[in-house]
Structure 1
Amino acid sequence: MSFAESAAGYPTRLAAVLDGHLPPADEPPRDLHRAMRYATLDGGKRLRALLVYATAEALERPAERVDAAAAAVELIHAYSLVHDDLPAMDDDDLRRGKPSCHKAFGEATAILAGDALQTLAFRILARDEAAGDPAQRLRQVELLAEAAGSRGMAGGQAIDLAAAGRALSLDEVETMHRRKTGALIRASVLMPCHAGPAPETSRLAALERYAECLGLAFQIQDDILDESGDPAAMGKSRGADAARGKPTYTSMVGLDTARARARDLYREARDALAPFGAAAGGLHWLARRIVDRED
């Protein structure tokens, strides 16, 4: 079975894992639990979780060893979207084709939902014995915490907020992108390396290079779509960053150069997978899907 075929089943598998860990909607406090489920279960491409499963395939590890990692990265991603959409952050009213969490449940509940989703991610990793022995689970927790913290997503968002209305260099924009988006993609690829025997150093370095290239390519493609994408397909408004005066890759180099940079990064990511041969088919498929996506 090709990864394109198995990828259709992974979101269903992930939804069952997430549903089993999220509090029931009718359990008090109901509004909080409803908001958590609203932000996590309804919609999304699940690309980060698919990267977890594809990496496990490249390492010839069964899916059950990385279910916890896949759920954890999706919960961190969901929490980040809930908080990023808040009026104090990016102030977006639409997410995944429906009202943002704070529009549906109010700002206070959305803040709490994001907080609770983040902590649930680490609880899942800490408790799921299928993810590996305690030392392996601790390394996964460390990788995810690094990705979510001030040297990762939170730091990238801080740079993004501070950049509104002022000029950044291209290197600074790439640094922002590598933190805000690339850090969680890196964690998604590296966490499965610690759900079993550690891969040899050269293979670990190859996966890290793949993740770094793909993370930057992903955000460049986001910038391209923010300027030229179809809002109906994307499920969110177009041109939001430009309206806030935020620097983007496309605003600095133009659409054509941005597209060329994304393609170059895709090729670098693809080439990094050479040590894995055919086992990396899923990672190849996802890299092309990320760079070619239109939503």
Structure 2
Amino acid sequence: MPAARVTGREQADRTATSAVGLREGELPWVEDAGKVAPKDARELSRVFFERLQVLEEGTPEFQYARNTLIEMNLSLVRFAAGRFRNRGSGEMEDVVQVGTIGLIKAIDRFELSREVEFTSFAVPYIVGEIKRFFRDTTWAVHVPRRLQELRVDIAKAKESLARELDRDPTVRELAAHLKLDEEEVVEGLVAANGYTAGSLDMSADAEETGGTAHSRSRTFVDFIGEEDPGMEKVENLSALAPLMGELSERERRIVSMRFGRELTQAEIGAELGVSQMQVSRLLSRILAKLRAGMTEEPLTDA
């Protein structure tokens, strides 16, 4: 059945209960669904949802109704995407695209019998897709969800304890604060090396609270030690925990000092009674051993 052509304010006037000039079961033709005002889109969406529920999937009328619903409600995607602008403007196009996927899922799953506004139903789907996008694309290597969440907990604990103690907390203090073993904290700190943040100027809890990059005094950059190129050799941190158990006690101590206590190579050398150059060689050997175990590459003697 052909759709009746509607322009201007008529788009908003033809609702589910008072469609002027339309035969029963007929959909209004929306010239440019993307230009429908949000308030009008809410009213028109109900008309289209009522019809969509009785149309046969795959028919031209079904596709028209579904596509029109998507275009009319893209303002919801732009609204949700705006909450993540602090992540960087370069990714906003991708954010809108994945947010649209969430909108489509919401349209396909929405039922008028729920007696809830479509906007309230759709926004969680849209935001969920956007958060999943950031979770899956801000890690340089695959890291288990447990370690991703642990990284956030440790960052928050560091910021909280640093304010309380007026200095950076030790691994032991972090472990006590989080009620974790020290080895778990070290594992989380090492895993954080696989994270690619949108901005090092972002506060430790900005991604959870929606704050801006400069909304708090202490940022991720405050917690970064000197650059360690050796860590680039560790490509898959998901296998790190069992491999740590294969290191000698001295090797585990060195890893803990370097990535847990964040000591410099010179400070580690002072504690072990060796030179900074020897510490550098030991770290390179330890990281090579970890990498060999993760990639199942045979470790050859130099």
TM-score, normalised relative to structure 2: 0.24
Highest RCO, 1 vs 2 (Cα 8 Å, sep ≥ 6): 1
Structure showing greater Rg: 2
Q: Would you tell me which structure has more helix in proportion to its own residues? A: 1
